[in-house]
Structure 1
């Protein structure tokens, strides 16, 4: 399994699987391979009786820069054309639902999941960690629900799952400002469980917790996850459906073009509400 994927590396030892994001985009950005492979990866691990817990982390200096806009241009491009009609909007809706499904595959995994975050965790990275059971971070970790800075309503999971993790005020502050927050702030508001000195210590803590879980009776562990997940499944599903329809209708704008152009140009955007 370790050699089968382009976007992740998988290593399994002592009933714990480690899934490491490896790109291929800079900063483990989430391109076409990530969205296609993630459901396959988690379905395979969930079906493996020798895997009782999963640790998710990123390679290199960062967890993930989020959506790889350059590599995913074919998804947004047709929607940004002037006068986009029903066909490009319908195609975008279908593609968006598929991307949502990739993150949902992590959330629906019966095997407990633990994220170890270091460096940047931006946009799609936050979507991803919002779908796991337990989150740890290194002291250098930084988090941002940054979609608003690009004139995008976050649509792959953050706005559906973070309301079950954060208080309403903290979530609205993060989503409406798009600001970056430190690991210390993330722990204070409940986005992560604990903060460790560095990436190595955070990953070690994630594996220690995974080993504790793996030592428990697997059917009962699966049952606990099933019962806990049942309380949120309907709300998350409804939110994902709503935002997919909302963005398919309202995403194309001059502000979206400006946000993406400004990001690639490394300059502040000038939004006009058009």
Structure 2
């Protein structure tokens, strides 16, 4: 896939380096003070593999400091927003801790990995340029973590959402359990997280996960850009001030939750059920959990 990370307004010698960086998980364009960041995979359904987790934090940090960017639209390429964590691609990083006899060394490495991956999602939440997520198709697991870090979410009528980690014997640890209660409330969060059920765009709008639903992906992206343009037309330092004030009260709660779940998973993630879940993914079957 050939990607174009610049536009006509950002190809000059003074353009920030990130705009021409050869990202593997994203494309980036900037025009009229709006950056469009598109997930591109490389795995099916824009699944979040190693490239996503290493590229997201520096990309959003760069967007945060780019004075020409006043708002960001985040979307997915193709039919779907994101299938979430690319488990097969991440097995090289997860393999050691899956061993039932994993000692302090592998567990410490895994804890550090989780904290690093959390940093990728945190970079979206911490960006002082408002992020509008435009969701079409599936938004699963890590995809929900990602949009929960956005400031505003809109969806197409075909969008479906799932906090699916419970289905693969993992406690969600990238931020959805910390941020969703502040967006949709504790009860809805518990229902989605404990069942792993899928919900459609109409239900997502009803519970407040998305602000509006549009006919299709193109209309959703257009609406996201319209919101971004409204924001970009306001005084940028005042917008950043609003962001700082709104984030202040929630940041300590989110940070505490993220630290706790990283430690919890480093201690308790390895299990026979997790091994069964991973095996079932590779064998394309339904896992049989035994609580072991």
Is the aligned partner of 1:254 residue 2:272? yes
Question: CA–CA distance in 2 between the matches of 1:43 and 1:206?
Answer: 21
Greater CA drift, 79-88 or 203-212: 79-88
Deviation (angstroms), 1:163:
1.1
Is the aligned partner of 1:134 residue 2:152? yes
Q: Give the structure 2 partner of residue 222 of structure 1.
A: 240
Question: CA–CA distance in 2 between the matches of 1:111 and 1:132?
Answer: 10
Question: CA–CA distance in 2 between the matches of 1:253 and 1:2?
Answer: 43
Q: Give the structure 2 partner of residue 154 of structure 1.
A: 172
Q: Is the 8 A contact 1:3 1:9 kept in 2?
A: no
Is the aligned partner of 1:206 residue 2:217? no
Cα shift readout 1:217-253 (whole Å, capped 9, x = no counterpart): 0000000000000010000000000000000000000
Alignment of 1:52-201 (within 5 A): 52-201=70-219
Question: CA–CA distance in 1 between the matches of 2:223 and 2:122?
Answer: 25
Question: CA–CA distance in 1 between the matches of 2:118 and 2:111?
Answer: 10
Q: Is the 8 A contact 1:130 1:158 kept in 2?
A: yes
Q: CA RMSD in A?
A: 0.8
Question: CA–CA distance in 2 between the matches of 1:166 and 1:265?
Answer: 35
Q: Give the structure 1 partner of residue 39 of structure 2.
A: 21
Q: How many residues align?
A: 274
Q: Give the structure 2 partner of residue 271 of structure 1.
A: 289
Q: Give the structure 1 partner of residue 8 of structure 2.
A: none
Is the aligned partner of 1:245 residue 2:266? no
Cα shift readout 1:165-206 (whole Å, capped 9, x = no counterpart): 012111100000001110111000111111000000000000
Deviation (angstroms), 1:46:
1.0
Question: CA–CA distance in 2 between the matches of 1:228 and 1:76?
Answer: 35
Q: TM-score, normalised by structure 2?
A: 0.93
Q: Give the structure 1 partner of residue 65 of structure 2.
A: 47
Q: TM-score, normalised by structure 1?
A: 0.99
Question: CA–CA distance in 2 between the matches of 1:8 and 1:2?
Answer: 12
Question: CA–CA distance in 1 between the matches of 2:230 and 2:90?
Answer: 39
Unaligned runs of 5+ in 2: 1-18
Deviation (angstroms), 1:3:
4.6
Question: CA–CA distance in 2 between the matches of 1:146 and 1:246?
Answer: 18
Q: Give the structure 2 partner of residue 32 of structure 1.
A: 50
